[in-house]
Amino acid sequence: MSILKDKNILLGITAGIAAYKSASLVRLFIKAGANVKVVMTPASKDFITPLTLSTLSKNPVYSSFVDEEDDNQVWNNHVDLGLWADVFIIAPATANTMAKMANGVCDNMLLATYLSAKCPVYFAPAMDLDMYKHESTKRSFKKLISYGNKLIPAGTGELASGLVGEGRMAEPEHIVTYIEKDILDQLPLKGKRILITAGPTYEAIDPVRFIGNHSSGKMGFEIANAAANLGAEVVLVTGPTHQSIKHSLIEIMPVVSAEEMYKEVHKHFKSSDIAILSSAVADYRPKTVASQKIKKKNSTFSIELEKTKDILKSLGEIKTSQFLVGFALETNNELEHAKGKLKSKNLDLIVLNSLQDKGAGFGVSTNKVTFITSSEEVIENKLKSKAAVAQDLMQQILKQLHA
């Protein structure tokens, strides 16, 4: 999954032959999971039709403040459009439009939207060789960059005039990659490696039966997604679950038993900056696993159990600079038990949730948690979606890391 997933991207198109590439650019943004709207200069419609772009973006295309062919004219609000966008990319950006942007000229809807935008603005120049090298164009570049806009440099190749040189608009794939990298480089967890565990463990009784629990793994998967969206490289060690996730920054390591999870977690812990253990690991496992299916013979049946290794505690004993987070699912004396685990397992933060709270626990899409820091600060949260809880958790971790 791209870092652009669910981002609102506004694509501005100006009157250059490179506008034909804008259709591919819209498709790539949509493929990355972004929401796309298009605003065009009136002259750009000579190069590519609004119908093509609206079909690809699944949104109306804007090129004027009102639709003059509509008797019931409605104002297209450039302010709302500029505020809607998380990213504004102008591609192609002609010499004419860049000069207007640089000097505050506002004679069409695209320029009005640009002046209203509060988000990062990228521009991808496209023009002929001599225009690209002209001092006035270079002056526009400098001004636009000084305003905080981001230049996606033109490439070198055959131009519409037949000349070969600099001025060719960057290819759509390069533009998308450039924006993705720029966003990632500014994220607070860029360069950090986070180890996360999720889901239950299954402890075999015989080849067909096991001891397990009702954990769905959803909380851990949401935490992994939230961490990756903040730029972290995530190793997700997950027990058996129906959850799935696709993200370029998430590597999934499937395991089944507590012993397998223990080994996989220890394999990655030393290279991790943060470890978040949200999985529901079995506390006990059958001491002996039958090699054949156990037949139903007697009215009662006993299984001797032995303790599994305490993964969280084992990490607390060997951690050096890692920030270690544990989860506590309690049914009584919740705060007391959670604070006990916080200290005994050498944690930096523990996330407490209670089966007594309606809407929390296993198998639901919501959770109600309390954060307890290493200084025993108690931070209570309301019932929220597990996705929102994951985001709150990452913000709490960032707060403690930067304290």
Mean pLDDT in residue range 171-175: 97
pTM score over 0.85: no
Enclosing H/E stretch for 327: strand 323-330
Q: State which fold the 8-185 domain adopts.
A: Rossmann fold (3.40.50)
Of the candidate ranges 68-72, 255-259, 277-281, the one whose mean pLDDT is the lowest: 68-72
Q: Is the pLDDT of residue 147 over 70?
A: yes
Tokens of 261: 């999870």
**What is the rounded average pLDDT of the residues 348-361?**
80
Q: Terminal CA-to-CA distance of the chain, rounded, Å?
A: 31
Percentage of the chain beyond pLDDT 70 is 96
Work out the burial of residue 70: count CB atoms within 10 Å of its CB; fewer than 13 is exposed, 13-18 middle, 19 or more buried.
Answer: exposed
Closest CA to 225 of 199, 244, 206, 204: 244
pLDDT at residue 72, as a whole number: 55
pLDDT recorded at residue 359 = 66
Report the range of poorest mean pLDDT among 202-216, 330-344, 350-364.
Answer: 350-364
Q: Domains of the chain: which residue ranges?
A: 8-185, 193-288+304-401
Question: Mean pLDDT over residues 128-156, rounded?
Answer: 94
Write the CA distances from 176 to 5, 122, 173, 367, 381, integer angstroms: 12, 11, 5, 35, 37
pLDDT band at 142 (very low <50, low <70, confident <90, very high): very high
Alpha helix (H) ranges present in 270-385?
A: 311-318, 334-344
213 belongs to the catalytic site: yes
Do the beta carbons of residue 388 and residue 367 sit within 8 Å?
no
pLDDT for 364 beyond 80? no
Q: Is the pLDDT of residue 303 over 90?
A: yes
Just give the CATH number of 193-288+304-401.
Answer: 3.40.50.10300
Residues 195 and 286: their CA atoms lie apart, in Å, by 28
190 vs 157: which has the higher pLDDT: 190
**Mean pLDDT, the chain, whole residue set:** 93
Which whole number is the average pLDDT over 192-220?
95
Position 207 scores a pLDDT of 94
Arithmetic mean of pLDDT, 218-233: 96
Q: Is the pLDDT of residue 363 over 70?
A: no
pLDDT at 159: 74
Q: Is the pLDDT of residue 379 over 60?
A: yes
Q: How far, in Å, CA of 237 to CA of 242, rounded?
A: 14
Is there a common fold for 8-185 and 193-288+304-401? yes
Confidence of residue 361 (pLDDT cuts 50, 70, 90): low
Confidence of residue 329 (pLDDT cuts 50, 70, 90): confident
**In 3-state terms, what secondary structure has residue 6?**
coil
| pLDDT given for residue 74 in this prediction | 63
Whether residue 39 contacts residue 76, with contact meaning beta carbons closer than 8 Å, is answered with: no
pLDDT tens-digit series, residues 76-122: 788 889 999 999 999 999 999 999 999 999 999 999 999 999 999 99
Judge whether residue 287 has pLDDT over 90: yes
| Three-class HEC string of 104-133 | CCCCCHHHHHHHHCCCCEEEEECCCHHHHH
- What is the structure's pLDDT at 3? 87
Residue 308 has pLDDT above 70, yes or no: yes
Mean per-residue pLDDT for 181-192? 94
Note the pLDDT of residue 299. Answer: 85
Catalytic residue among 96, 213, 346, 381: 213
Strands 35-40 and 164-168: unpaired
Residue-wise pLDDT tens digits, 43-88: 999 999 999 999 999 999 999 887 656 555 567 788 889 999 999 9
- Cβ neighbours of residue 36 closer than 8 Å, sequence gap 6 or more: 9, 10, 11, 26, 29, 30, 56, 57, 58, 59
Q: Say which amino acid occupies 341.
A: K
The distance of Cα 327 from the centroid of its chain, to the nearest Å, equals 23
Residue 403 pLDDT: 78
Give residue-wise pLDDT tens across range 234-248.
Answer: 999 999 999 999 888
Ranges 50-64, 299-313, 344-358: which has the least confidence: 344-358
SS3 content of the chain, % helix, strand, coil (to 5): 35, 25, 40
